Amino acid sequence: MIRQWNEESLDHRNTLLYAMGISEEDAKRPVIGLINSWNEMNPGHFPFDKSVIQEMKEEIYKAGGLALELPVSGVCDGICSNTPGDRYTLPARDLVSSEVETVAELNMLEGMVLMATCDKVVPGMLMGALRVNIPTVMFTGGYMAAGRYKDHMLTLTHTKQAYAACVEGKITKEEYKNVVRHACPTPGACPFMGTANTMCAMAEILGFSPHGNASVRSQSEEWRHMAREAAKQLMDAVKAEKIPSDFITEESFKNAVRYMMATGGSTNSLLHIPALARQAGIEITPETFDQISREIPLISTIYPNHPTYTMEEFDRAGGLGAVVKELLKTEKFDGSSDGMFGTIAQKAELSDNHDTEVIHRVDDPISHQGGLAVLHGNIGTDSAIVKFSAVADSAVSFEGTARCYDSQDEAWQAALKDEIKAGEVVIIRYEGPKGSPGMPHMETFMAAILGKGLGEKVALVSDGRFSGATGGLAIGHVSPEAYEGGNIAFIRNGDRIHIDIPSRTLTADISEEELEERKKGWKPIEKAAGGWLKNYKKNCTSAHRGATIYWD
User: What's the rounded Cα separation, in Å, for the pair 140 and 311?
Assistant: 15
With residue 70 as reference, give the H or E element that holds it.
Answer: strand 66-71
Q: For residue 6, give every residue at least 6 positions away whose Cβ sits within 8 Å of its Cβ, in sequence order, or none.
A: none
Q: How many CB atoms lie within 10 A of CB 297?
A: 22
* 51 included as an active-site residue: no
**Which DSSP string do the residues of 426-453 spell out, in sequence order?**
EEE-S-STTTTTS--B-HHHHHHHHHTT
Q: Are strands 373-375 and 383-386 parallel, antiparallel or unpaired?
A: antiparallel
Single-letter residue type at 530: G
Catalytic residue from among 467, 479, 503, 511: 467
First to last CA, the chain: 30
Q: Enter the DSSP assignment of 214.
A: G
- Do residues 219 and 304 lie in contact, with contact meaning Cβ atoms separated by under 8 Å? no
User: Which of 464, 506, 491 is closest to 90 using CA atoms?
Assistant: 464
Q: What angle do CA 531, 90, 47 make, to 5 degrees?
A: 110
Q: How many CB atoms lie within 10 A of CB 548?
A: 28
Distance of CA 495 to the CA centre of its chain: 33
Q: For residue 232, give every residue at least 6 positions away whose Cβ sits within 8 Å of its Cβ, in sequence order, or none.
A: 59, 63
**Which DSSP string do the residues of 142-182 spell out, in sequence order?**
-BPPPEEETTEEE-HHHHHHHHHHHHHTSS-HHHHHHHHHH
Q: Enter the DSSP assignment of 66.
A: E
* Peptide bond connecting 437 to the previous residue in cis, omega within 30 degrees of 0: yes
Q: How far is CA 48 from CA 40, 227, 470, in A?
A: 11, 10, 27
Q: What angle do CA 303, 379, 399 make, to 5 degrees?
A: 65
Single-letter residue type at 319: G
User: What's the rounded Cα separation, in Å, for the pair 294 and 286?
Assistant: 13
Q: Characterize 437-453 residue by residue with b for buried, 16 or more Cβ atoms within 10 angstroms of its Cβ, and e for exposed.
A: bbbbbbbbbbbbbbbbe
Single-letter residue type at 538: K
* DSSP three-state, residue 32: strand
User: Which of 64, 136, 87 is closest to 530 using CA atoms?
Assistant: 87
Single-letter residue type at 533: L
Active site residues: 467
